[in-house]
């Protein structure tokens, strides 16, 4: 499985106030989208999220988002290594994702940019 990078997930109270800081910090522009009731801004290596507390509570359990070349390949390897895939692979606005619980109990989102 080829890991292309990782994004740190940050829950913020005010997305509009947070975006300029992270744009200047990373030198990039925010790519915005919505996932359910949560507003998301991807800025460099940061995923900023803001929304209803009940949805953020679930999102906070995910340690990081890992970009991979192929989510199907990640699914096979994670399962082989004893991780438990709890959601996906499913289509996203940018590709596909899955959520996996590693054997140590940590939760990660794996994403690719392939159609599915």
Distance separating alpha carbons of residues 65 and 40, to the nearest angstrom: 13
Contact indicator for 71, 2 with CB cutoff of 8 Å = no
Sheet holding 3-11, edge to edge: 31-35, 38-43, 46-50, 3-11, 62-68, 107-112, 96-101, 84-91
Alpha helices, DSSP H only, in 3-109?
Answer: 15-26, 53-59, 71-80
Q: What is the predicted pLDDT for the residue at 95? A: 87
Range of the domain at 85: 3-112
Structure pTM?
A: 0.82
Count of C-beta atoms within a 10 Å radius of residue 81:
11
pLDDT tens string 80-111: 999 999 998 998 877 899 999 999 999 999 99
- Give the strand pairing for 46-50 and 96-101: unpaired
Distance separating alpha carbons of residues 100 and 68, to the nearest angstrom: 13
Q: What percent of the chain has pLDDT over 70?
A: 98
Indicate the average pLDDT of the chain.
93
pLDDT tens string 45-84: 999 999 999 999 988 999 999 999 999 999 999 999 999 9
Q: What percent of the chain has pLDDT over 90?
A: 84
Contacts of 31 (CB under 8 A, 6+ apart): 41, 42, 43
CATH number reported for the structural domain that contains residue 81 in this entry: 3.10.180.10
Report how many domains make up the chain.
1
The answer to whether residue 112 scores a pLDDT higher than 90 is yes
- The band of 115, judged by pLDDT with boundaries at 50, 70 and 90, is low
Q: What is the predicted pLDDT for the residue at 34? A: 87
Distance separating alpha carbons of residues 116 and 114, to the nearest angstrom: 6
Q: What is the predicted pLDDT for the residue at 6? A: 92
């Amino acid at each position: 499985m080829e890991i292309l990078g990782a994004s740190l997930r940050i829950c913020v109270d005010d997305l509009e106030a947070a975006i300029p800081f992270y744009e200047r910090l990373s030198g990039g522009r925010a790519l915005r989208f919505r996932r359910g009731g949560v507003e998301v801004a991807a800025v460099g290596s940061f995923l900023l999220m803001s929304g209803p507390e009940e949805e953020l509570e679930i999102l906070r359990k995910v340690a990081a988002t890992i970009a991979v070349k192929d989510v199907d390949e990640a699914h096979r390897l994670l399962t082989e290594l004893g991780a438990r895939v709890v959601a996906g692979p499913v289509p996203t606005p940018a590709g596909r994702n899955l959520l996996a619980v590693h054997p140590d109990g940590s939760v990660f989102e794996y994403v690719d940019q392939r159609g599915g």
